[in-house]
């Protein structure tokens, strides 16, 4: 069974809660990878701002981020709406736009994971 870990928290909030959420998402992703489980780590909403922060070597979550980078995707429409496209570009993370939603350039469709019976865990 596939697990989809979704990060909505915003690094621009500057709170320990936001940092705790993303680090816990990275912990879960790392644990699933160690167990050879099928998973994606999705950055959605304002969460699309995280990869640019996590890519910085001095960030406390950097090593975990690097360890699971091959499982990370981000919402393309969210990146556009929240001005994260430029920060995501150098990360090489795939921007997913699989659902047309009016007023967007296309968003990552979480409902398709529910339709497939995947487990969603949100942070």
Q: Going residue by residue through the chain, which has 123 residues, state the pLDDT in tens, using 9 for 90 and above.
A: 999 999 999 999 999 999 999 999 999 999 999 999 999 999 999 999 999 999 999 999 999 999 999 999 999 999 999 999 999 999 999 999 999 999 899 999 999 999 999 999 999
- CB within 8 A of 17, min separation 6: which ones? 9
- CB within 8 A of 118, min separation 6: which ones? 1, 2, 3, 4
pTM for the model stands at 0.95
């Amino acid at each position: 069974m596939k697990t989809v870990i979704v990060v909505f928290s915003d690094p621009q909030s500057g709170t320990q809660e936001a940092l705790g959420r993303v680090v816990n998402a990275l912990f879960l992703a790392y644990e699933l990878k160690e167990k050879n489980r099928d998973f994606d780590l999705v950055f959605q909403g304002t969460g699309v701002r995280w990869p640019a922060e996590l890519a910085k070597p001095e960030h406390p979550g950097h090593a975990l981020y690097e360890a699971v980078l091959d499982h990370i995707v981000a919402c393309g429409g969210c990146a556009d709406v929240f001005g994260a496209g430029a920060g995501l570009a150098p990360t090489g993370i795939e921007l997913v736009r699989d659902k047309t939603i009016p007023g967007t350039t296309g968003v990552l469709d979480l409902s398709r994971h529910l339709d497939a019976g995947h487990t969603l865990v949100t942070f």
